[in-house]
Amino acid sequence: MMRVLNLVILTGIVNLSIVFADPSDWSVNPSEYEHTASMTGILLFDDVQSDDPNDIVAAFVGDECRGVDDLGLYFSPTGNWVWGITLYSNGGDETFTFKGYDASEGSEYDITDFSYTFVPDDIVGSAVAPVEWEFITMDLPDWSVNPSDFEFTASITGILYFDGVQSLD
């Protein structure tokens, strides 16, 4: 009986660690940058506004993390959870893209329709009028093939690039 109980507890711990997996190591070293801008917004995952203070938003220039906020704050006048992110740069005219982490799902999102061109000392959004970071799961295409419909086969070997970044999958 004790063995079964231990097995059940171990299974629960493993499942919890999968559900509550940590996001990628998003971090920035502010001392490497001369200029900042700030942005305040709300997170939307698949059109559902986040109310989980453990969700995360991060800003990137290419693959380099340039800002991260890992603690949402509840703003009672609007009833929204908001995230405030400081963006770091050594000059203007850099385009920032954003990634989100949904802590309750343990999912990382890197697809958003929102980008920002850096302006030193800029303030974008507020708790009253927040930016909306909309993260959407892409639906995979239904590419099914019936091999019996074809007489010959061929294979292709190559490297996939998505938005200029080589896929490691």
Record the tokens describing residue 49, joined without a space. 């506004």
Kindly tell me if the per-residue pLDDT of 168 is higher than 80: no
Give pLDDT tens digits for 136-167.
876 666 677 777 777 877 778 888 887 778 87
When comparing pLDDT for 16 and 168, which is higher?
168
Q: What is the DSSP letter of 28?
A: -
Domain 24-135 coded CATH 2.20.28? no
Kindly tell me if the per-residue pLDDT of 13 is higher than 90: no
Kindly tell me if the per-residue pLDDT of 1 is higher than 80: no
Q: What's the average model confidence in pLDDT over 108-129? A: 92
Neighbouring residues of 104: CB distance < 8 A, sequence distance ≥ 6: 52, 54, 55
Dist CA 61 CA 97 (whole Å): 6
Dist CA 151 CA 84 (whole Å): 58
**What pLDDT does 129 receive?**
98
The values of phi and psi at residue 90, to 5°, are: -105, 5
Indicate the pTM of the whole model: 0.68
When comparing pLDDT for 90 and 113, which is higher?
90
Task: Tell me the torsion sign for CA atoms 63, 69, 72, 76.
Answer: negative
Record the tokens describing residue 161, joined without a space. 């690039």
Dist CA 55 CA 77 (whole Å): 21
**What pLDDT does 43 receive?**
96
Sequence spans of domains, the chain: 24-135
Mapping DSSP to helix (H, G, I), strand (E, B) and coil, where does residue 41 land?
Answer: strand
Give pLDDT tens digits for 124-137.
999 999 999 999 87
Give pLDDT tens digits for 17-35.
334 445 668 999 999 999 9
Give pLDDT tens digits for 60-96.
999 999 999 999 999 999 999 999 999 999 987 899 9
Dist CA 161 CA 85 (whole Å): 29
